[in-house]
A and B are shown apart, each in its own frame.
Chain A
Amino acid sequence: MNQSNDKPDVRRLQRIATKLRGNIVKMIEIAGSGHNGGAMSAIDMIVYLYFHQMRVRPDEPRWPDRDRFVMSKGHCCPALYVALAERGFFAEEVLWTLRDIESALQGHPDMKKTPGVDMTTGSLGQGVSSAVGIALGGKLDDKEYNTFVMCSDGEMQEGQVWEAAMAAAHHKLERMIVLVDNNKLQTDGPTASINNVEPIAPKWEAFGWNAHAIDGHDFAQIHEAVQRCLVPNGKPSVIVAETVKGKGISFMENQVDFHSGPTKPEQTEQALRELDERMRSLEQEEVRS
């Protein structure tokens, strides 16, 4: 299940992601606020990492040799929280305390409050730099852990992302992998109409990175790209994942309005119904095969 270049069990990962999408919708509705859209576009990659790739120990969250994950697009932390709970870092009930006073699950990731969170984030751009430090620390100590970072299209408007990109390449952080959740929407509208960040892969390449373009909802492609990133060649790697904001819930897909804000009760019901259907069809496929 961990650090495996074996082919992933795609249907298993799809089932986990489907279940976790439901948890995201529920927790944000209970919390009364939070970011659904970008959590839905990110969740497949996060599920792949936590349920197929990363070496982590839920009973020893600070295990020094663990692979790291930095949610630089910290506003979408519900996607991380549901994965951590499912992976056993804390009980599922904790999810329903999101954003409550003194909750272990803060509105943006807090490494001191949430078991399994490797870096405090929430201010766009900072997480990519912090991940550079984490990867650099590993390199200094000849550690073999990988540092994964998730960043978003709007986030790349932050100049700090490019300061970090330059530094990671300069220090040859070949165990650092950035996953760009390129859902092409930011808070106020389409990223291309606000302050265009495209073309993305050539920018990273120009900064000295390996770049791979994939469909961020296709587990086979995610797997293949991550495995290619793990082959050391002296450069850090970026995976530019084409994604759909709100993916998996019909009324959320590509809707700027679902960047943030909870679903209304009837919307939650509909979302859960759609996800149930999806789960049933995944199970039927499983039986047929």
Chain B
Amino acid sequence: MNKVDLRHSAPVVSNTRICTDHYRLVLQEDRLASATLPGQFVNIRVHNREDLILRRPFSVALVKPEQSLFEIVYRVVGKGTSAMTDLQPDDVVNLLGPLGKGFRIPKKATNCLLLGGGCGVAPLWGVADKLYRTNSKMIVVLGFQSSAMVFGEDKFQAYGADTLITTDDGSYGLKGFVSEHLGKAMDRQIDRAYVCGPTPMIKAVTPILKQANVACEISLEAYMGCGFGVCLSCVVSVRNGEAIEKQRVCVEGPVFRLEDIVLDHET
């Protein structure tokens, strides 16, 4: 059997602040740039620091295989992500990847809805990049806390997507949550939906998407111990036929089909 080596040492190309608390980290690694699918993630060992025992998982936002580049967008929330802001060009990042299962992208042109919230917007870049190459129509709805947190709008527009922004406080785009403005997008013909964002957003949009009856895939987050399936930290309840079973976000996910996900109140 062929063995997989998930270890990579990827030099930093750039690490730039893109809006309040959010950074875009571009790394160079040929194998990852060519093998990673949208929705898959990497697990970063921050500065090899001995006090930070666990790696930090981040979805890959976009790959550029021709240039051996891939990028992630991270939000500074704690010790690890604060330390990552110190990364300078030519520093080397220790990471494992690609991990997990990504989004399924149809081969033929399809009408797609992309729904993102916060740093969950970034992995949808990769989805848009692939859909663009299939000549698919894209409607993109993105939610942020406020204008200072908005990023990525231009990326989707460059792929020719119809892009709608909402902010919780109305300081940019439409005021309110993504779920409140989803109705407008749902009036159009939509065959597939891709969702990535914080858990409250996922909970709010789930009923609307279920009712619309579109094929929908959602990327989930979980606290992870290993990222490759051995520790059972990251389990969620998932439907498998009649049964509900525990599956690992890091191996069977992070992308799940909407109809398979069992939310807390359903168990």
Are A and B bound to each other? no
A residues whose Cβ falls under 8 Å from a Cβ of B: none
